[in-house]
């Protein structure tokens, strides 16, 4: 395992949320202007002057992650083709979550007692660690509770989100730890938007799963069982698949087949809004790894789930 670091000087940014902890030395840096960032990992200004992390592998693949929401907004292989999708109505002003890429749903998936999909996609994450392992850049982001989260969910927690970029893949690892003195429970998902031609897109691997279908009435999902080998997107699609397998295959209709592997994400969600989002629904599909049922954590307990996206 080769870990290489290089110095990086950042233009003027608000560095309040760019703190990085050097785990080996235990040192914390209050600013990033003199930061040491791993080879292939840099911090720059993104849309709306929001700080983002750019990962670049030795092979030329690239990923972008915004600290606001801890949101991966781009994943390009060495040919420069972006396999993720950001909606044209996405805003980068912190007034709402970034619409596209891989947003977090935590600690609530969907509607419920707090705001839609929880608060993790509405908060600033910080940089906990960075590295380069044999040419593959690695970044770990951290989210902790604060007044904003506690107003909705009164618990102390730590979430770590590691992103590893390889030549033809991107791996994410989410770890949630209960740092409170009382137990809590949560549900969560990665709301992944893939670039696609919706008329040609299809998903394999879900046959036999129990389904909760929100079409035609999202407020009253209908239980069923998936009988199809290949699932397409002929119109409005919003369906939860319980106890999904650990690998699905997305044909994005653009010439790419994407393997979507997971560890400990027990469920999957397919979504396309169709005419509810007339300006862009033809250009993406969502295939989401999720934990629909609640995860219960006692104090000091942790839960970890991984998602591995790759193309052949």
Residue 269 has pLDDT above 80, yes or no: yes
Residue 294 has pLDDT above 80, yes or no: yes
pTM of the model: 0.89
Give the percent of the chain with pLDDT over 90.
Answer: 85
pLDDT band at 144 (very low <50, low <70, confident <90, very high): very high
For residues 127 and 19, the answer to whether their CB atoms sit within 8 Å is yes
User: Token pair of 151, please?
Assistant: 């107003």
* Main-chain phi, psi angles of 47, to 5 degrees: -60, 140
- Tell me the average pLDDT across 238-262: 98
Can you list the positions of beta strands (E) in 12-59? Answer: 20-22, 27-29, 36-38, 41-45, 51-56
Q: How much is the pLDDT for 217?
A: 83
Please give the Cα distance from 198 to 237 (Å, whole number).
Answer: 11
Catalytic residue among 35, 64, 173, 191: 191
pLDDT band at 219 (very low <50, low <70, confident <90, very high): confident
Catalytic residue among 62, 104, 288, 308: 288
Active site residue 191: yes
Active site residue 288: yes
- Tell me the average pLDDT across 135-153: 97
Residue 47 has pLDDT above 70, yes or no: yes
User: Token pair of 292, please?
Assistant: 């629909």
Residue 312 has pLDDT above 70, yes or no: yes
pLDDT band at 49 (very low <50, low <70, confident <90, very high): very high
* Main-chain phi, psi angles of 118, to 5 degrees: 75, -160
Residue 245 burial (CB count, 10 A): 14
Supply the mean pLDDT for the chain.
89
Q: Tens digit of pLDDT for each residue in 66-84?
A: 999 999 999 999 999 999 9
Q: How much is the pLDDT for 25?
A: 27
Residue 96 has pLDDT above 70, yes or no: yes
pLDDT band at 38 (very low <50, low <70, confident <90, very high): confident
Q: How much is the pLDDT for 216?
A: 82
* Main-chain phi, psi angles of 15, to 5 degrees: -95, 15
Burial class (CB within 10 angstroms; exposed 0-12, middle 13-18, buried 19+) of 297? buried
**What structural domains and CATH numbers belong to the chain?**
5-311 (2.70.98.10)
- Tell me the average pLDDT across 160-165: 98
């Amino acid at each position: 395992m080769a870990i290489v670091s290089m110095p990086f000087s950042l233009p003027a940014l608000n560095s309040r949320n760019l703190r990085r902890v050097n785990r080996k030395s235990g040192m914390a840096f209050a600013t990033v202007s003199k930061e040491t960032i791993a080879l292939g990992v840099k911090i720059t200004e993104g849309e709306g002057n929001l700080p983002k992390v750019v990962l670049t592998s030795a092979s030329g693949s690239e990923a972008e992650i915004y600290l606001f929401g801890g949101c991966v907004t781009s994943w390009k292989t060495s040919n420069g083709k972006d396999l993720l999708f950001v909606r044209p109505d996405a805003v980068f002003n912190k007034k709402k979550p970034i619409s596209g890429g891989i947003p977090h749903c935590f600690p609530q998936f969907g509607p419920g007692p707090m705001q839609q999909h929880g608060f993790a996609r509405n908060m600033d994450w910080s940089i906990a660690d960075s590295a380069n392992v044999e040419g593959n850049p690695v970044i770990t982001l951290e989210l902790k509770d604060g007044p904003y989260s506690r107003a909705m969910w009164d618990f102390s927690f730590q979430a770590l989100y590691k992103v590893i970029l390889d030549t033809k893949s991107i791996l994410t690892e989410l770890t949630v730890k209960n740092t409170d003195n009382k137990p809590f429970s949560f549900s969560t998902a990665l709301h992944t938007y893939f670039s696609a031609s919706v008329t040609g897109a299809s998903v394999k691997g879900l046959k036999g799963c129990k389904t909760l279908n929100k079409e035609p009435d999202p407020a009253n999902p209908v239980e069923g069982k998936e009988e199809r080998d290949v699932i397409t997107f002929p119109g409005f699609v919003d369906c939860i698949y319980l106890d999904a397998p650990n690998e699905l295959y997305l044909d994005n209709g653009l010439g790419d087949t994407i393997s979507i592997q997971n560890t400990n994400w027990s469920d999957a969600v397919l979504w396309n809004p169709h005419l509810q989002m007339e300006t862009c629904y033809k250009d993406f599909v969502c295939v989401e790894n999720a934990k629909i049922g609640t995860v219960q954590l006692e104090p000091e307990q942790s839960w970890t789930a991984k998602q591995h996206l790759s193309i052949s």
